[in-house]
Structure 1
């Protein structure tokens, strides 16, 4: 279902990365299966080091990633690596992991083929600036909400106030323990 678009996208990235195709070419005819429950993607490697649809039912390498780990992708592929369970041919898994970690899309290069180098550079810089503006705006909204709910409509307890309360509670507990000791002494007299 989504195998063909995924393979086409990966091969588009490989087209601009001869080092990656060279790294994968020795594994021609091998297959890898990616399990991100409920999705399964089977990939084969052709003689040129590009991905194809898997022709064999038995994979040489299986990579499993729990669906709950996908939010870690925000931190990059390295953040996901701790949760991936790999089984099968170690050399093939190593080459595949290296290529997938290092493979990057150069949007500016791809855009420059359509509109030219200078326009592509300016468009990418504008997109980066807009993305940075959105991140800063989101950060400002969160900070303003924290301040509003902490100061003006105190629904959120500040850390310092919570620490003060914990200290006061501990002092009250100690005072109560001393008072109980004194009462016991008075009762025994």
Structure 2
């Protein structure tokens, strides 16, 4: 007998909310601008990332998930900017998993979502390199605001919580046949 997750009702609720709720255009624009500022902040901490992007200046990459999309253009400085409305993308990345909770679960496990990729192979390779090699140094940014010791303490707490969440999510994984993994399946051989 298959047992259903006690949180399965959330899946349907989130699905309906994403389909029904359409944010106003000003909110979409502001969210995209904030995302670009964050991405550029992270990129500026890694010189090699910016050097890779300089080679792609003027190229447009469009990311799409369901009916949400964001087109980014690479600037001559090796950073990103929101592409002009109607800009033709050189690369299109579509996130295939439409379920927001499943997508969050993939992210919590530290995995990449499944993508459909169309367009410029070199731009796709450079973006893949960025995803694999560039990480936000949260602890360094917190240390600028509150000092080294409190930032280190908070970062350690965050890492502990993240590891616990990953372990919880990983423990709830299912087998290939769709059945929940038993405790025996999770034990190391």
TM-score range, shorter chain: 0.5 to 0.7
Residue of structure 1 equivalent to 2:69? 40
TM-fit CA distance, 1:100: 2.3
**Post-superposition, which runs of at least 4 consecutive aligned residues in structure 1 deviate over 6 A?**
none
TM-fit CA distance, 1:93: 1.0
SS at match of 2:61: strand
Q: Which has the larger radius of gyration?
A: 1
Which whole-Å deviations, capped at 9, do the CAs of 1:16-59 have from their partners, x for residues lacking one? 11111111111001100001112101000001110011136210
In structure 2, relative to structure 1, the CA distance for the partners of 1:128 and 1:97 (3 Å cut) is closer
Which structure dedicates a bigger proportion of its chain to helix?
1
Query: After the TM superposition, which residues 1-189 of structure 1 pair with which residues of structure 2 at under 5 Å, given as runs?
Result: 1=28, 2-55=31-84, 57-66=87-96, 67-68=98-99, 70-71=103-104, 72-76=106-110, 78-80=111-113, 83-129=114-160, 131=161, 135=165
Which whole-Å deviations, capped at 9, do the CAs of 1:120-175 have from their partners, x for residues lacking one? 1122223444x279759x96xx9xxxxxxxxxxxxxxxx8xxxxxxxxxxxxxxxx
Q: Under a length normalisation based on structure 2, what TM-score does the superposition of the two structures give?
A: 0.63
CA distance in 2, matches of 1:132, 1:30: 35
Q: Name the structure, 1 or 2, with higher relative contact order (CA <8 Å, separation 6+).
A: 2
Gaps of 5+ in 1: 143-158, 160-189
In structure 2, relative to structure 1, the CA distance for the partners of 1:127 and 1:94 (3 Å cut) is closer
Q: Under a length normalisation based on structure 1, what TM-score does the superposition of the two structures give?
A: 0.63
1:3 touches 1:42 (CA, 8 Å); kept in 2? no
CA distance in 2, matches of 1:49, 1:132: 31
CA distance in 1, matches of 2:58, 2:76: 8
Task: Supply the RMSD in Å over aligned alpha carbons.
Answer: 2.6
| Aligned residue pairs, count | 136
Gaps of 5+ in 2: 1-27, 172-181, 183-189
CA distance in 2, matches of 1:112, 1:104: 16
